[in-house]
Amino acid sequence: MQKKKDNELVVYKQMDDMDVMSLEQAVAVAEHNIEIFKRIKTTVLKATRPSDWVKMGETYQITGAGAERIAGLIGVSWSDTIQNKIYSEDEIGKYYIYEYRAKFSFGNRSIIAIGTCSQRDKFFSMKDKKLLPSSEIDETNIMKSAYTNMVMNGVTRILGMRGITAEDLVSAGFRLEDIAQVTFRESGQDSTSTAQKRADIREYLLAKFNGDEKLAKAELIKLTAWKNQEGKEVAGKASIDELSPKQVDILYGKLKDAILEFKRAGQNKQEPAKQEASDAPVLFQGGK
C-alpha cells in the first residue's frame, strides 16, 4: 500500500499470512468470550435474589451482600487484600480516606479492584448542615463502606456485570417492583406526609450503606434507640414500618439536613424524573 506524504513516497508493509491468521484468531477469541460472558450474566442473574439489587436512578446495581453471594456461587475469589489509610487536606483541614484493594480471580483471569470511602463522605460526616468533628464520626462505617465498594467493583468487573438493565432482570425472572429503589426528588422539596418521610428515610439509609440492608438496619436500630423514664435503654426498631407517625417525625427531624444533602448530591449526578412517594424502596418493610 502506498501513500504520498510531504512529497515523499511512504510504503506500508502488507500483512503476511501470519498477521492475517493472528487477527482472525483474535476475532474468534473475542466472539467466544462474548458468548461466555453472556452465559455468565444469565447464570448469575438467575442465582441472585431481588434483595441483591438496588435501583439507583435509572440503573440497577448489585449490593455488597449480593456481590458476595455471587462470588460464592460462581467461584470468584479475592486475595492479597490491602488496606490503606490515606491522609489528605482541603480548605477545611486534614481528613482521611480508606482504600481497599485486592486481586480478584475467576477462572484464569485476574484483575486488581479498588474501593474507597472518605471521611468527607456527607453520609458520615454531616449533621445539621455542619461538618462533624472526627470524634463523632464512626470510622468503622467508613472502613466497611470502602471494603464493600471494593467487593462490588471487583466482582462486577471480573464477571462483566456492569450496566445491568431492567430488561436483563426481567429476562432472569425478576419483578421490578420487588427490587428496592433509591429515587431522587427535587432538592427543595420537603416531605410533609408520614409516608413520604418514611420513603425519604429508607432511600437515605439504603444509599448511605451502598444497598447493604444489614448495615442500614443496624443504623436504623441505633438511631431509634431511646431511654425511658427509668433511664433504661429501649432497643430501636429494625423496620421503618414499625415506627409510629410521631417516631417518624422525630427521626426525620434528626436526618432532614442529611437527606436534603443526599438529594442534592443525587441531582448533581443526573436529572431523573420526579418520583411519587409510592416508589419508595421496600427496604425494612415488614421488619424482615
- In the block, which residue shows the cell 502506498? 2
Task: Tell me which of 177, 195, 229 is where a domain ends.
Answer: 177
Domain co-membership, 143 together with 253: no
Does any domain span residue 24? no
Domain co-membership, 171 together with 63: yes
Question: Coil, strand or helix: which one is 213?
Answer: helix
Domain co-membership, 195 together with 248: yes
Do residues 64 and 151 make contact, with C-beta atoms less than 8 angstroms apart? yes
148 lies in which domain range?
Answer: 53-177
**8-state DSSP, 28:** H
Can you read off the three cell numbers belonging to residue 75?
A: 467461584
Task: Tell me which of 130, 160, 177 is where a domain ends.
Answer: 177
Domain co-membership, 202 together with 232: yes
Domain co-membership, 164 together with 262: no
Amino acid sitting at position 264: R
CA-based R_g, the chain, Å: 24
Question: Coil, strand or helix: which one is 62?
Answer: strand
Does any domain span residue 148? yes
Does any domain span residue 5? no
Domain co-membership, 133 together with 189: no
Question: Coil, strand or helix: which one is 198?
Answer: helix
| 150 CA to centre of own chain | 10
The torsion angles phi and psi of 77, rounded to 5 degrees, stand at -130, 160
CA 200 – CA 231 distance, rounded (Å): 31
Check: pTM over 0.75? Answer yes or no. Answer: no
226-227 and 233-234 as β-strands: parallel, antiparallel, unpaired? antiparallel
Task: Tell me which of 128, 161, 177 is where a domain ends.
Answer: 177
The count of domains in the chain is 2
Nearest to 154 by CA among 117, 118, 115, 116: 115
| Per-residue pLDDT tens listing for the chain (288 residues) | 444 444 444 444 555 555 655 777 777 777 777 777 777 778 888 888 888 888 877 778 888 888 988 898 889 999 999 999 999 888 788 899 999 999 999 988 899 999 999 998 877 887 777 888 888 888 988 999 899 999 999 999 998 888 788 888 888 888 888 887 765 444 334 434 676 777 778 888 888 887 788 888 888 888 888 877 777 788 888 888 778 777 888 888 888 777 777 666 654 444 333 333 333 333 444 433
> To the nearest 10°, the Cα dihedral for 85, 65, 213, 144?
-10
